[in-house]
Amino acid sequence: MTERDLLEERDRAGTWGKLNQARLALILNYAGERILDVGCATGDYVRYLTTRGYDAHGLDIVPAKEWEAVPERRIRQGDIQKLPFVDGEFDTVTAFEVLEHVDDADMAIEELKRVSRKNIILSVPDCQEPQVFKESGLAFHHWTDRTHLHFFTAETLRQKLEEHGLVVRYLDRINPVRPELIFLDGLKHFRFFWRGVARLVKNLPFKRPFLMTLVVVAEKAGS
């Protein structure tokens, strides 16, 4: 995967590196004081955590102009498959939506494990789609990302981490999608009215959520 491919996909998606409340909650609940965010993109997590007292740092293979706003040159360019840090340099290493892009996922996991002292926190697209999506001809939008090289389910992600001697402490799904918008947007008349209905539907307590992202907290054995 070339740097140009990643740049094009980052610009197309427009969300890489942006703060996500579910991921932040995992960091606040499970991370140590010194954190490395691998694949940090715009560096939003580094900025957020630094202002809240964490010793946060970032790394990405593709530089971003937003790094200039991060104090003390806390973000550098580098490759997840060969991290420029010593063993156990960080309490926690995060990598959000990164593993699916790298050439060698095993090498990447081993590097994340090497530079962390306590644990790693990961998220990847969930490639186990609901049966109803298949029946309706739909797919999560991450299937359209041309830079994806690996496709994880909850089972295969857990297995991959355990193969590297990591202990999975938490595994769940986040990031709901809203397929009802497709139906409502397809109604020809009173589109603004149906958009209002969609906002109401979003908050129904009995609505079944469809979640498209896997998140995991994995500890180093004996940590």
* Beta strands at 210-220 and 116-125: parallel, antiparallel or unpaired: antiparallel
Q: Is the pLDDT of residue 81 over 90?
A: yes
pLDDT of residue 25 exceeding 50? yes
194 belongs to a structural domain: no
Give the CATH number of the domain where residue 8 resides: 3.40.50.150
Q: Which amino acid is at 112?
A: L
191 lies in a domain?
no
182: how many CB neighbours lie within 10 A of its CB? Answer: 11
Q: Nearest to residue 68, comparing CAs of 38, 46, 92?
A: 46
Q: Is the pLDDT of residue 195 over 90?
A: no
Does residue 193 lie in a domain region? no
Rounded to an integer, the average pLDDT of 35-54 is 94
Residue 98 pLDDT class (50, 70, 90 cuts): very high
Under the banding of pLDDT at 50, 70 and 90, the label for residue 196 is low
The more confidently predicted of residues 129 and 195 is 129
> Would you give the end-to-end CA distance of the chain in angstroms?
34
Flag whether 96 is in a domain. yes
Contact 148, 125 (CB under 8 A): yes
The answer to the question of residue 37 being in a domain is yes
> Does residue 184 sit within a domain?
no
3-state secondary structure of 20: coil
DSSP state of 207: P
Query: Regarding predicted confidence, which is higher, 5 or 92?
Result: 92
Quote the strand ranges of the chain, DSSP E: 34-38, 55-60, 75-77, 90-96, 116-125, 166-177, 210-220
Domain span at 214: 3-178+210-220
How many distinct structural domains can be found in the chain?
1
pLDDT digits (tens, 9 = 90+) for 132-189: 666 566 655 555 667 778 889 999 999 999 999 999 999 999 977 766 665 555 555 5
Q: Which residue type does 154 have?
A: A
Using 50, 70 and 90 to split pLDDT, how confident is the model at 6?
A: very low
pLDDT bracket for residue 17 (50, 70, 90)? low
Regarding predicted confidence, which is higher, 170 or 63? 170
Pairing of strands 55-60, 75-77: parallel
Among 76-85, 92-101, 201-210, name the one with the lowest average pLDDT: 201-210
C-alpha to C-alpha distance for 75 and 117, rounded to whole angstroms: 20
Give the DSSP letter of residue 123. E
- Asked, for residue 46, whether it belongs to a domain, the answer is yes
Domain annotation covers residue 85? yes
> pLDDT confidence of 12, banded at 50, 70, 90?
very low
pLDDT of residue 120: 98
Proportion of the chain above pLDDT 90, given as a percent: 55
Answer whether residue 219 shows pLDDT above 70: yes
SS3 55: strand
Eight-state DSSP code of residue 79: B
pLDDT at 211: 81
The total number of residues shown for the chain amounts to 223
The two structure tokens encoding residue 126 = 């969930």
